[in-house]
Amino acid sequence: MKLALLGCGLLGGSTAAAWRRAGAASTVAGFDRDADAVQRGIALGMIDTAAGSVAEAVAGADCVLLATPVGAMPALLGALAPHLQDEAIVTDVGSTKAGIADAARAALGAKFARFVPAHPIAGAESHGIENATSELFDGRWVIVTPTAETAADALQRIEGAWTACGAVVERMDAREHDRIFAAVSHLPHLAAFALMRAVAAGAEGSRCLQFAGAGFRDFTRIAASDATMWRDVALANREALGRELTAYRAELEALQAALDRADGAALQRMFEDASRVRRGMRFGAFGRNEGEDGHDE
């Protein structure tokens, strides 16, 4: 399978490398607005050839993988559509799924049946193809959100590629996907960005940060994430995310009310609820426990 990689960052590079290692891709043609990223991907052995344009990347491809920030995908779909081979599959690795399906339907017309929306629950707060790794998806979920129009063979091909990388595929409705990841991914990112800003902007901000411990380090790790990527995610999923943010703010308000009235019993009950749920959690498709090293959605 000849792969056209549009967007040569951490997730795109990791996908190309993982698919090739698993035998799901034979050659990789890369395109990125940042031509230097493509060259770094070639130097790393993750990309074979640098395409001079979207058209050139897509021309001979059996599969086109969109791995840009989600905000760039609608225009990219419009640009690539005229150059697709007849049976070529188009897929993506975006963190939101309902909007991209709408954009693909509009851009691809009859070829929309060859579009397979996907979201690997893997990534990192680091970015750039130099941080990519073919092992990123081992034991991770990949959510696919096929529509009624999605061709069965295209869906199977993409699901097979992910499975070959050690990932576990879960099919889901796009809107359910967006609700779920609003809660467990997009909200925590916003909460971490906001906390980082609140602390840094305080009167003693830099002195505070000097003494931050491992709890702060872990809590704010995702606040180092790419601003453009997360701006796009927030905008693309703003309805579901808005609801989650409202619910979170209500929890914080209840917490502050308990704090204001020095209600130790209420605070303890809230902390116990949270602590019990968190201790019972397992992560990744195989329900691993805490120890594993940290890659992110």
Residues 89, 112: Cα–Cα separation, whole Å: 9
End-to-end CA distance of the chain: 26
Which residues are CB-neighbours of 40 under 8 A, at least 6 positions away? 8, 128, 129, 130
56 binds its own copies (CB under 8 A): no
Binding mask 251-280 for its own copies (x = CB under 8 A): xxx-xx--xx-x-x--xx-xxxxxx-xxx-
CB contact at 8 A, 101 and 128: no
Give bridge partners of residue 66 from the DSSP assignment: 6, 92
297 binds its own copies (CB under 8 A): yes
Residues 93, 180: Cα–Cα separation, whole Å: 16
- Minimum Å gap between C-beta 74 and its own copies is 14
Contact range with its own copies by CB under 8 A, out of 12-20, 54-62, 106-114, 250-258: 250-258
- Minimum Å gap between C-beta 274 and its own copies is 4
Binding mask 196-235 for its own copies (x = CB under 8 A): xxxxxxx-x--xxx-xxxxxxxxxxxxxxxxxx-xxx-xx
Residues binding its own copies: number (CB under 8 A): 98
Residue length of the chain: 297
118 binds its own copies (CB under 8 A): no
Residue recorded with tokens 């609801």 = 243
Q: Site residues for its own copies, window 176-195 (CB under 8 A)?
A: 176, 179-181, 183-185, 187-195
Nearest CA-CA partner of 241 in 191, 195, 196 = 191
- Minimum Å gap between C-beta 76 and its own copies is 17
